[in-house]
Amino acid sequence: MKNQLKRLKDGNQRFVSGTTIHDIDSISSQRISVVKAQEPFAVILGCSDSRVPAELVFDQGLGDLFVIRVAGNVVAPSQIGSVEFAVSMFGSPLVVVLGHSNCGAIEATIDAMKNPDESTSINIQSIVKRIKPAIEPLLLNHTLDQVRTEDAVKANVLKSVAQLTSSSEIIESKVADGQLNVIGACYDLKTGVVDFYD
């Protein structure tokens, strides 16, 4: 698992420095090699924000990552099932919950908490309801106006990590057996750097 995490960290360093190892020729050759099977070395549960494409952020190619994207990188049954699928079918030994700076889903949740009487669609509310419990503990020492988005992002990532490791017998048993590591991380939109909470 340390090797897989190192691959992500090294890839992020390449991304930040602009020295990618993946050009169109390498991607084209990978496309052919992964037609019959995939062996992703890591699962990324990230936000659907268009500015955070995991394969680019970690400078990885086709078949390297099993990426699940949902607004606010929330954990719901379909995301848990997707992670279970990847770790069971492909033996991926690493799961990273990837949040990011300036997350719109986090900001929308804070706004909804400030203005509970304003209505949004029930589908957006379902995302807000999954993020809200991560933010509420921050209110023990701060008002909603004092809560920093980056603190809320980290709290939400760590809550998602905890949910993944406690809401699935498959994931929980693989973690207990040392076959799987589930960690959190945050991508900085300005710098391109991923900060791992390991």
Quick: pLDDT tens for 159-179: 999 999 999 999 999 999 999
Bridge partner residues of 43 (DSSP): 66, 95
**How would you classify the pairing of strands 65-69 and 194-196?**
unpaired
Per the annotation, where are the binding residues?
Answer: 47, 49, 100, 103
Per the annotation, where are the binding residues for Zn(2+)?
Answer: 47, 49, 100, 103
Where residue 145 falls among pLDDT bands split at 50, 70, 90?
confident
Whether residue 32 is predicted with pLDDT greater than 90 in this model: the reply is no
Where residue 1 falls among pLDDT bands split at 50, 70, 90?
low
Q: Strand ranges (DSSP E) for the chain?
A: 42-46, 65-69, 94-100, 181-187, 194-196
Q: Which residues contact 71 (CB under 8 A, 6 or more apart)?
A: 47, 48, 49, 104, 105, 127
Domains of the chain: 2-196 (3.40.1050.10)
